[in-house]
A and B are shown apart, each in its own frame.
Chain A
Amino acid sequence: MVSFEIDGKKVEAEEGSMVIHAADAAGIYIPRFCYHKKLSIAANCRMCLVEVEKAPKPLPACATPVVEGMKVFTQSAQAIDAQKGTMEFLLINHPLDCPICDQGGECELQDLAVGYGGDVSRFQENKRVVLNKDLGTLISTDMTRCIHCTRCVRFGQEIAGIMELGATGRGEHMEIGTYIEHSIDSELSGNVIDLCPVGALTSKPFRYSARTWELNDVAAVSPHDAVGSNLYLQVRRDRVMRALPRDNAAVNECWLSDRDRFSYEALNSEQRLVLPMIRVNGELQATDWKTALDFTVKGLSKVIDLCGSDSIGALAASNATLEEYYLLQKLVRGLGSSNIDHRLRQSDFSHDAVAPLFPSIGLPIADIEQQQGVLIIGSNVRKEQPIIGLRLRKAFLGAARIMAINAVDYEFSFDLAHKVITPPKQFVASLSRIAKKLANETGTTIPAAVGDWAGDVAVSDSEQDIAKVLAQTGNQTALLMGQLAVSHEYYDSIYQISQVIADMIGATVGTMLSANSAGAWLAGCVPHRGVLGSTENNPGLNAGQMQKQSLKAYILFGVEPELDCVDGANASNAIGSADFVVNLSSFMSSASDYADVQLPLAAFSETSGTYINGEGRVQSFGGAVSPKGEARPGWKILRVLGNMFELDGFDYTSSPEVFAELDLSNLEPSAKLREVAIMAPPKTETTSEIDLERICEVPLYASDPLVRRAHALQACADNPPPAARVNAAQAKELNFSSGTKINAHMGAAIVALELIIDDRIPNGCILIPSGYPETAALGGPGMTRVVRA
């Protein structure tokens, strides 16, 4: 610790830290533009000049290390003079266009100009003009306003890990841009909008729609990934105008993924379901709530009377609130059925009995940074969970060796120490070989079934390398399963063997799921367990079964079966052929084609509720705006239905009352299975040589009903139209080239797509994304035959 003085006040600071750190900690404000607590120090704006005793000239506080006994003056004549001088220089080339600048009102330059700027300009010459850049659909540019602080450049280089913006040219000719015009496709790009201290980079969707001082901030939690990023929804006249990050060091720090930042656009979508609707003579008709609810109760009662309560089932989205899940399962169970689930993208449910209390990533999010080793299993983590990707990058910049078993050689913002890129069908075998090798290294005995899965194939070099690293990183290791693992036909075996690996070295194992997957489990929104993991004596059908065998009646809660289910084609067939379908939804969707009644559901911004993120963090929030049209919060709809069915315990008057029924203290993020029991591998199926295994990823902007309706995200470069991707060798073998129009056959379904050569894909595979109407007919993972259209 170093002690010294700022403005006569005694302060202490860590050795090696800068004057600005100490000043910030002591609450002494020093003006700045280029300095940002999360970025490296550039010291290029000179706004932070302060006087330091014995120094011949003012020094930049952001780049002056603290020294024992030094005396710093931030308000002395010399300091103020220097700061004013800097300001005058900064304003030389800055346009005076605050009245038409979106940054006005939240502009650091504007604020500091009030404090340090002159009232008239002495500059008589021409201001320089910089042409705007087209950076895509999310970021709008006015580059003449740029003050060259390089925060945006450093963000790309340091935090996002993919440098897209740079400073080209020199002196007066310096410009911030991409040099060759292209859009920025980082999944975190929106953060440069927050970082830019002036109006050079602003939000394109928000452009010219409101003044910042007209907006009220309402704290909220993002509904898209396992991180549960904290945000502010900014509201004007009962409409969400914008989303901004809410600083939370343990969760998202000061960052926000583009999905979390721009998905708010969908809240005001023209596709919102704003009126209750019932089907009369085959047509959906708008009606009032009472009629719709009566219709619902009658319809469901009829099915129960005729076919028994087992013939109804409920499927919920994985980002409903805890309270909604709780009431939904209470309603369904109250009606005598346990057919309830939210795991729409899971195919293998074999380990349900030994599953942990709730799914988690296995460790606190912030701890990811400290890991020495990480093994990613089946995940494009950078796009699936952008903030976890960012933490992994930090781990990588530390000392972590990150490794992956994946079906696509994804580009991450960190280097992989070792990787196995293999068809999904080989995931389990590859993991087993790693487990075997690791058992060798560590001298542990492991279940024999692991050897059966490993087969006779020799351990590959990368598998050996991964095992060796794991043996070294030991209990400082995290195993993280992602979407390709969770939707895998042998998810259970992947999970079990991952756990075997983790147990050998004391590592954590976890799954990266959705915004409230944890809440769904804890609320009992699974067929085999009740509230808080209690045993369900009469386990019902899981999501996979409900998608296959048609029930007589379905309750859909925020689900678009076609796009949200692992096998959307089958799911919508099964549900579409039911006698009675209740669709609680925020949007008109393909489910509207067969829904018998549609109940407009409030979106996440319009209801109070709770999300539990992937580290077991319980985050409650209040509604930011009132529900669109006649939409109502889910908990209210479910409560009324409970009352109308005359079920006990549906007398809540608020969502906190619902919440209070659940004791959620001490949620440790441990995703360990209660017991390891590895199934024997299946008989090797003989597949036709010419068939390719479909890799069925859900791209980031296809993940849920909300993002699928956020215009700017849909139009951005990171959301290319769905295509079929194979590697060059594979394409050559099939005699296709880039752009060939092909037909993909799976079962009886045929889908026409364009072929793209993509060398990230292993041999024998074809990447066809799901989550798009264009590919929904194909269903889920499986073998595909591709022929020229």
Chain B
Amino acid sequence: MLNQESLNRINKEIAKYPVARKQSAVMAALHIAQEEKGWLSNEVMDFVAELLEIRPIQVYEVATFYSMYELAPAGKHKICICTNVSCMLCGSDTVVAHLEKKLGVKLGQTTDDGRFTLKEVECLAVCGGAPMMQIDKQCYENLTPEKIDSILETLE
């Protein structure tokens, strides 16, 4: 199900916890699985459950709780827009509207060319730079439509 490298990484995570607490590695294991596969299919989650010797539903609970996990195939770049209070007050609505228009997809959707997935997320703790978004592993602050355009141009 997962390649040897991912398995090795997961085993390293498991080793960080007491033997009887294998399940503590669930979040790390899901991240690693997602990095390899791009998203978490039911089969991948069931596999992780088996690895950690927990029931599949325990993995689903975690995977559905955090917005960082993808439960459907996602685009090459994941654009996460914070719409929580600080960002909302500083204009996240404009950010959302601009991105939706520019990419031609709604929140939660992926562009036809598979390049971008647009996601609404809760506070990412960068309220000082509101409105903000996170693309893949990078945060972008004090967004304006122009700034967004130039950021997107740098991405393949």
Task: Please report A residues at the B interface, Cβ cutoff 8 Å.
Answer: 162-170, 178-180
Contacts and interface: CB of A to CB of B under 8 A. Distances in A.
A169 B65 contact: yes
B107 to A, nearest CB: 14
- Which of B56, B57, B60, B61 has the most C-beta atoms of chain A within 10 angstroms of its own C-beta? B57
A164 B54 CA distance: 11
Contacts of A179: 56-57, 60, 64
The 10 lowest CB-CB distance pairs between A and B, nearest first, are A166-B57, A179-B60, A168-B64, A163-B55, A166-B61, A170-B65, A169-B64, A168-B60, A168-B61, A163-B57
A166 B57 CA distance: 6
A180 B58 contact: no
Contact of A164 (B57, B64, B66): B57
Contact of A180 (B56, B65, B66): B56
A417 to B, nearest CB: 14
19 contacts: A163-B57, A163-B58, A164-B55, A164-B57, A165-B57, A166-B55, A166-B58, A168-B57, A168-B61, A168-B64, A169-B64, A169-B65, A170-B64, A170-B65, A179-B56, A179-B60, A179-B64, A180-B56, A180-B60
Interface string B63-98: 011100000000000000000000000000000000
Contacts of A169: 64-65
B5 to A, nearest CB: 28
Nearest to A177: B57
Nearest to A164: B57
B42 to A, nearest CB: 6
Interface residues of B, number: 10
B85 to A, nearest CB: 14
Interface string B124-139: 0000000000000000
B64 A180 contact: no
Residues of A contacting B: mostly: loop
A146 B90 CA distance: 36
B25 to A, nearest CB: 18
Contacts of B42: 180
A32 B60 CA distance: 28
Contacts of B57: 163-166, 168, 178-179
Given A162-B55, A168-B57, 7 more contacts: A166-B55, A166-B57, A167-B61, A168-B60, A168-B64, A170-B66, A179-B60
Interface of B: 42, 55-58, 60-61, 64-66
A178 B61 CA distance: 10
- Which of B42, B65, B66 has the most C-beta atoms of chain A within 10 angstroms of its own C-beta? B65
Contacts of A166: 55, 57-58, 60-61
Residues of B contacting A: mostly: helix
Contacts of B61: 166-168
A168 B57 CA distance: 8
Nearest to A415: B53
A534 to B, nearest CB: 53
A166 B58 CA distance: 7
A615 B60 CA distance: 42
Nearest to A175: B64
A168 B66 CA distance: 10
B38 to A, nearest CB: 20
A168 B40 CA distance: 15
Contacts of B58: 163, 166
A180 B57 CA distance: 8
- Which of A164, A165, A166 has the most C-beta atoms of chain B within 10 angstroms of its own C-beta? A166
Nearest to B65: A170
Nearest to B53: A415
A158 to B, nearest CB: 13
A37 B87 CA distance: 43
Contacts of B60: 166, 168, 179-180
A166 B61 CA distance: 6
B104 to A, nearest CB: 25
B133 to A, nearest CB: 20
B139 to A, nearest CB: 22
B82 to A, nearest CB: 15
A180 B41 CA distance: 11
B27 to A, nearest CB: 14
A789 to B, nearest CB: 33
A426 B66 CA distance: 51
A178 B64 CA distance: 12
B146 to A, nearest CB: 33
B50 to A, nearest CB: 14
A143 to B, nearest CB: 15
B22 to A, nearest CB: 13
Contacts of B55: 162-164, 166
Nearest to A173: B64
Contacts of A180: 42, 56, 60
A162 B60 CA distance: 15
A154 to B, nearest CB: 13
Contacts of A164: 55, 57
Contacts of B65: 168-170
A416 to B, nearest CB: 14
A163 B58 CA distance: 8
A229 to B, nearest CB: 26
Contacts of A162: 55
B67 to A, nearest CB: 8
Nearest to B46: A180
Contacts of A170: 64-66
A163 to B, nearest CB: 4
Nearest to B57: A166
A165 B56 CA distance: 10
A134 to B, nearest CB: 15
A489 B116 CA distance: 68
A42 to B, nearest CB: 14
A190 to B, nearest CB: 19
A87 B49 CA distance: 37
Contacts of A178: 57
Nearest to A179: B60
A220 B34 CA distance: 54
Nearest to A167: B61
A169 B57 CA distance: 12
A355 B55 CA distance: 44
A168 B42 CA distance: 14
A322 to B, nearest CB: 42
A184 to B, nearest CB: 11
A167 B63 CA distance: 11
Nearest to B60: A179
B130 to A, nearest CB: 20
A162 B42 CA distance: 19
A178 B42 CA distance: 12
A179 B42 CA distance: 10
Nearest to B64: A168
A57 B64 CA distance: 32
A164 B56 CA distance: 8
A421 B26 CA distance: 32
Nearest to B67: A170
A157 to B, nearest CB: 8
A192 B58 CA distance: 18
A183 to B, nearest CB: 13
B52 to A, nearest CB: 13
B33 to A, nearest CB: 17
- Which of A164, A165, A179, A180 has the most C-beta atoms of chain B within 10 angstroms of its own C-beta? A179
A165 B57 CA distance: 7
B56 to A, nearest CB: 7
A165 B60 CA distance: 11
A163 B65 CA distance: 18
A167 B61 CA distance: 6
A179 B40 CA distance: 14
B57 to A, nearest CB: 4
B39 to A, nearest CB: 16
A1 to B, nearest CB: 33
- Which of A162, A163, A178 has the most C-beta atoms of chain B within 10 angstroms of its own C-beta? A163
Contacts of A165: 57
Nearest to B54: A163
Nearest to A169: B64
A204 to B, nearest CB: 21
